[in-house]
Structure 1
């Protein structure tokens, strides 16, 4: 299934995309794409619906972040061998983890704000893992049983804030609109070979990132198991799993994002995003 949340910010309602590309309203079935809805039983209930009988929604409606009730981002850095190489950093022995404020979460086609004082605004196409059931100290063999599905994520970053302002990476990762997620949560049964998905990101129509999840250093099951040793993962939690090469930070002459730029990105089978950069108020 492809599950969605649509409507104005803060007032999104649950929906799904049917096999004909029609957005169907789930408001009479569930309150949100969150909590127990993300469990195997909750997803099975939705999968059993006669989607043709559900009300259709205007395709022009705003698409929100594809999951609600998110308690945390558990982000993974330097998780692509080719990206680590472009950054001039060694391949890590263990996953590099960092946080991102939940207030950064936004829809896949919402505007990206350039923060006040920003000089090095960057982009990162990433595969996001959406947790479906509580995971604490789970083994790698058990890990995928706790995953509801996957989504496209743009880990928008302000590199000056991240690298040169002291402290943790979270400073450069957490401005409002720095977490576009969606358009869909694609359930595990429809996501294909998650270890071999093509990825891309364009700026103003020019290709910046081309990659594949096959160059991930630590795979999804390993990451879920590893992170669950340090924090309990709850339904709706999001794990962005790292980015392939091509980010502005890795360029000899970095082409940082600026107001007016158009960012388009996607992952095979998981959909596409489009964002316009605007100055923050």
Structure 2
């Protein structure tokens, strides 16, 4: 079952996305669960799956505009350089790092499936990064690695759009290049997490205008999903609805010679086994 946050006729809603159409669960259960984040906080993903299974679609998927699945997460944390070939791209001779690189992103730096990523006038260097993303379902601090996966509620996808020259403005961080309004996307939906086999060997690909640019598998990540959760929860309490973006493979536009930046008219698709395809166009910011 797939669940999304969306807008329908100017009304914010959430529900199940099926082959036959959209089941508007918020219209039926909003008093109990006002948002998908509230569903996750209540541990009710299995319950709404059962409710959706016995309901009929309310409208076609073409009638909605997708939002990011979790609209107001407390935290969005991103893992950098989490595939071996990405580490080699830096050409510094360094072995795989002993600790993961992390940086925050703000919710307004993302948009939903089917929406344009926004290229700002300050830089033409808008780049793509396709990534598997996890949504936390139960809170925890100093979570043991052996128990980490039990804290996941769902999986989704991210195009972690980046303004490349702005990540190099400072010596010690990349935050300003990673947080331009609507420069990235999350979605299209969340897929409930059920067991470790969902995460073991996910094929992840990114295409630009149909051309394959990134391709790798989650089994090759330097830091596994369990390691990511255990490490992050060492220094901050993870809470339901928190989003962790788990790293992109080699092949981003910055690594081509010469670099290939995204421009209006481009279509970017991030796909992963068992999750789906996140699709976005590109548009220039209207001032």
Q: Does 1:170 align with 2:172?
A: no
Q: Does 1:232 align with 2:237?
A: yes
TM-score, normalising length: structure 1: 0.92
* Paired position in structure 1 for 2:16: 16
* Paired position in structure 2 for 1:31: 34
* Secondary structure, counterpart of 1:186 in structure 2: strand
Root-mean-square deviation (Å): 2.1
Superposed structure 1 runs of 4+ greater than 4 Å apart: 8-11
Q: Does 1:46 align with 2:48?
A: yes
Between 1:213-222 and 1:57-66, the stretch displaced more is 57-66
Q: Note the C-alpha offset of 1:41.
A: 3.5
Distance 1:50 1:167, change over 3 A: closer
Question: What does 1:198-237 align with in structure 2 at a 5 Å threshold?
Answer: 198-237=203-242
Distance 1:280 1:9 in 2: 24
TM-score, normalising length: structure 2: 0.90
Question: What does 1:131-280 align with in structure 2 at a 5 Å threshold?
Answer: 131-165=136-170, 168-189=173-194, 192-280=197-285
Structure 1 residues 118-144: Cα deviation after superposition (integer angstroms, max 9, x where no partner):
132110000011011212111112211
Distance 1:142 1:164, change over 3 A: same
Distance 1:204 1:14, change over 3 A: same
Aligned length: 279
Question: Is the strand fraction higher in 1 or 2?
Answer: 2
- Select 2:59's aligned residue among 44, 57, 60: 57
- Select 1:81's aligned residue among 80, 84, 91: 84
* Secondary structure, counterpart of 2:51 in structure 1: coil
Distance 1:160 1:50, change over 3 A: closer
Distance 1:106 1:10 in 2: 16
Where structure 1 has 5 or more consecutive residues not aligned to the other structure, the ranges are none
Between 1:113-122 and 1:55-64, the stretch displaced more is 55-64
Distance 2:80 2:233 in 1: 17
User: Is the CA contact (8 Å cut-off) linking 2:119 and 2:183 kept in structure 1?
Assistant: no
* Paired position in structure 2 for 1:94: 99
Distance 1:10 1:57, change over 3 A: closer
Where structure 2 has 5 or more consecutive residues not aligned to the other structure, the ranges are none
* Paired position in structure 2 for 1:7: 7
Q: Does 1:115 align with 2:120?
A: yes
Distance 2:12 2:276 in 1: 19
Q: Note the C-alpha offset of 1:243.
A: 0.4
* Secondary structure, counterpart of 2:204 in structure 1: strand
